[in-house]
Structure 1
Amino acid sequence: MDTPAKPPRNGTSVLLGLLALIPATVLLFTGYLVPSVRTLLASFTDASLLDKPSESVGGDNYSALFDDFAESLVGPLLLAVALTFTALIGGLLLAWLAALAGRRGRWALRAAFALPMAAVGATMAAVAWLLSFESPRDLNPFLGQYGAFGALAVGLGATAFLLVLRRSPRLGDAWPGLLLVGGIITATSLAYALQSFTFPYLLRGPDGPRFGSPAMLIFDVAFRFADLGVASAGAVLLLAVLAVLGVGVAGWLIAARARVVEAAAEPAPDQPAGTSPWTAVSLVVTAVAALIALGSLVPWLTHSVSFSALPRESGVLPHLVSTWIPPLLSTLLGVTAAVLGGYGIGALRPLGRRSELLLLPFAPWLFTGLPALIPDAFRHRMEDGSEFLFLVPPASLSIPVLFGSALLFRGVRLTRALPVAGLAGLMVWVVAAQDTLWPLIAGMRPDSAPMQVVVLQTVTEFGYRGLEGGGGVTGWLYPLPLLLVIAAAIAAVQILSLDRLALRTGRDDPDDAPAAAPFPAVPAQATDPYPTAPAQPAVPTMEHGSPKDGTA
């Protein structure tokens, strides 16, 4: 039997592949590895915000913090379970029905959840939900967080499961990919919940737990109690949990030989012709789910149209610049390095079939965000001198984009992969620009503080009285026109690019063309919405045990 042709690999491709990884490796070293080591060393000292030399205290910091750290896990674990089940059940059901319905069902689902997926601004969501209640004690922070982002979880879950079901809607055939996606969703939900900060910070009431999440615990100990040594111990414990999740997911991806390929290069899924019962069922269920998702955005949309003048002489422009430009600089650097590294691993294949092993050095920090890095980042960046550069978030490398790019470039040509990479960069920018944690630490100048700081200060000053008080400035935080533009971009990339891709696991086959080489001609199928080549001679296939002509 002839073996599938391997992508050409020579000394040049090996060298270029390793060179493409250099920027990501440098950012990994400076933004994650070195800070993690310094955090570990600081956790055994009595370092503080006070200007005094630190001394070794052994393991006392861990003993003092362990009970509070364990208590701070309760709420995030419940939130992670809720988000996981929502994404798994809701996302899988909608994706399966859409896959059975064919192109109409898939496109309707992708468009229906574009708006909830654009609403990823944690600060805007938390402030909107806060202003919808008489008092912050009336809303549990994790219940509010689930209400704000449950629809987002469904949209992300449906997008991931559609990648698996794009080849075939039969669940029995796709179970390895579905299981892999389910594991990634579970790990992502847990990592997100453990590092949630904005909702616990805004919505924790006097009767609630002292520390709503590990992220809140680290922040409070570091900046309320000025104890960077104990805060570093909490950061180390959080880093350990996140490292286990990252290494586990990376190992699963490598063992499963996961990769993204063009759907047109595979046998077209069996799709009912014309309007079928599955199409009608999928459209109805998607419409109902979209209405529920829109209902969860009512607090957001209500407060996104409030553009009162800021009570500051500097006006709104300096605050908008501080909100969006520093995260843009970080995103451009980190996402560019991640995409370049992913191209080196996925397309240039410097280690051949073992190239994905190059992801392992990045794996421990796959799910690591700012909460685990802020004690060290504050200590080593507060003396940089430039207040504007201080606003640029630390740890710019987007490791999830690096992993996704490596899977994407493994089987997708560059021109088709770039829109997906661009959308990933856009979402990284929005998430960073809507973060609350770093602006609270770095945005200290009243005349140019990020909008997160301005809105939180205004809302607090007016005593949570909704639109009659602090709510009048919330529209500047994440303006509605910008939300609609980002939602349109998500829908366009989903329909025009992601819908043409599929997630594959297992051994390579002849249909998996290398990303760096032209794709072979594929027989045009009557049911394939994206024929990429003229019809070829008929190829016998089997459907439900009977021969069927494979051409139009």
Structure 2
Amino acid sequence: VVAVAVLCAWPWISGVLSPPAGAPGAMPDALRTQLNTWVPAVAGALVSVGVAYLAALGIGGLRPLGRRSEWLLLVFAPWLFAGTGVFGVANWQNMRDLGLIDSFLALIPPLLVSVPALFVLTLLCKGLAERDGGDFFGGVFLPSLPMAGILAGGVALVNAHDLLWPLLIAQNAALFTAPVEQFALIGGNGGVAPDAGTTTPLLVVAVALAAVVAAQLLYLDRLAITVNGSPSRATSA
């Protein structure tokens, strides 16, 4: 299994381990590309998951409509699987009206709330609220906070690999993200092969793997899936 995994991942491994090709100024350009990729991605994840978390605490934790509080999620249901493509034109128009076209701020994903994160966090907060009664801070907020962090990390990874929004919003090569830079190299006529490790730098992969292992050992393993209030732990796959 390990040999097959190494064989399949070899293009990426060789791309990460090989020295960067290009002119002497390629290293600052590579750093700028990574900053263009990851800073807006993390900022967008913090905003979208943060808003989703606050809404989940209100719907699932405070439960304003009692047992029918989950019906409030229907307001967000039409946008559950809607991404950049659906709102691309409208968001581009907003950025143009604000004068942010071809700016670093425009690289931040414009979605204000992550609807999938909202659904997951609401159901989690609901279960915690039913389990611990009236202790909102210690019984709902603190236990659900790590899940919000996990989802924010996942959304940041998705944002960093988005190709459509950076293509729409930035035509200046100095604002290219890693996916856009690879796309430009593939579509260009310079004969330069894109670096396989550009969109997945070794540091990001190491941090992501460490976060996944820590989340599994310290948090996810303690979660239980319940049916009709049953406290029995779900059978692991």
Q: Which residue of 2 aligns with 1:489?
A: 211
Distance in 2 (CA, whole Å) between partners of 1:380 and 1:321 is 24
User: Relative to structure 1, is the Cα distance of residues 363 and 494 closer, same or farther in structure 2, using a 3 angstrom cutoff?
Assistant: same
Matching residue's letter, 2:215: V
Cα deviations by residue, 1:178-224 (Å, 9 ceiling, x for unpaired): xxxxxxxxxxxxxxxxxxxxxxxxxxxxxxxxxxxxxxxxxxxxxxx
Question: Given the two structures, how large is their TM-score scaled by the length of structure 2?
Answer: 0.80
Distance in 1 (CA, whole Å) between partners of 2:121 and 2:154 is 15
Matching residue's letter, 2:59: I
Cα deviations by residue, 1:94-113 (Å, 9 ceiling, x for unpaired): xxxxxxxxxxxxxxxxxxxx
Aligned length: 217
Cα deviations by residue, 1:38-93 (Å, 9 ceiling, x for unpaired): xxxxxxxxxxxxxxxxxxxxxxxxxxxxxxxxxxxxxxxxxxxxxxxxxxxxxxxx
SS in 2 for 1:503: coil
Within-5 A mapping of 1:49-448: 288=1, 295-309=7-21, 311=23, 315-386=29-100, 387-412=103-128, 413=139, 414-448=141-175
Q: Which residue of 2 aligns with 1:523?
A: none
Identity over the aligned pairs, expressed in percent?
A: 35
Distance in 2 (CA, whole Å) between partners of 1:458 and 1:370 is 23
SS in 1 for 2:104: helix
Post-superposition offset of 1:462:
6.1
User: Relative to structure 1, is the Cα distance of residues 303 and 350 closer, same or farther in structure 2, using a 3 angstrom cutoff?
Assistant: same
Structure (1 or 2) with the greater helix fraction: 2
Post-superposition offset of 1:370:
0.9
Cα deviations by residue, 1:205-245 (Å, 9 ceiling, x for unpaired): xxxxxxxxxxxxxxxxxxxxxxxxxxxxxxxxxxxxxxxxx
SS in 2 for 1:336: helix
User: Relative to structure 1, is the Cα distance of residues 333 and 474 closer, same or farther in structure 2, using a 3 angstrom cutoff?
Assistant: same
Cα deviations by residue, 1:426-479 (Å, 9 ceiling, x for unpaired): 110111011111112222112232222222223444667xxxx423x4433221
Q: Which residue of 1 aligns with 2:193?
A: 470
SS in 2 for 1:382: helix
SS in 1 for 2:225: strand
SS in 1 for 2:176: coil
SS in 2 for 1:357: helix
Cα deviations by residue, 1:300-330 (Å, 9 ceiling, x for unpaired): 3332334415556763332222111222222
Question: Given the two structures, how large is their TM-score scaled by the length of structure 1?
Answer: 0.36
Q: Does 1:502 align with 2:216?
A: no
Distance in 2 (CA, whole Å) between partners of 1:358 and 1:417 is 19
Supply the RMSD in Å over aligned alpha carbons.
Answer: 2.6
Cα deviations by residue, 1:386-418 (Å, 9 ceiling, x for unpaired): 312221222231011111101111223433322
SS in 2 for 1:411: helix
Q: Which residue of 2 aligns with 1:521?
A: none
Structure 1 regions of 5+ residues with no counterpart?
1-287, 513-552
Alignment counterpart, residue 480 of structure 1, candidates 196, 202, 208: 202
User: Relative to structure 1, is the Cα distance of residues 446 and 337 closer, same or farther in structure 2, using a 3 angstrom cutoff?
Assistant: same
Distance in 1 (CA, whole Å) between partners of 2:64 and 2:5 is 44
Structure 2 regions of 5+ residues with no counterpart?
129-138, 233-237
Post-superposition offset of 1:295:
4.9
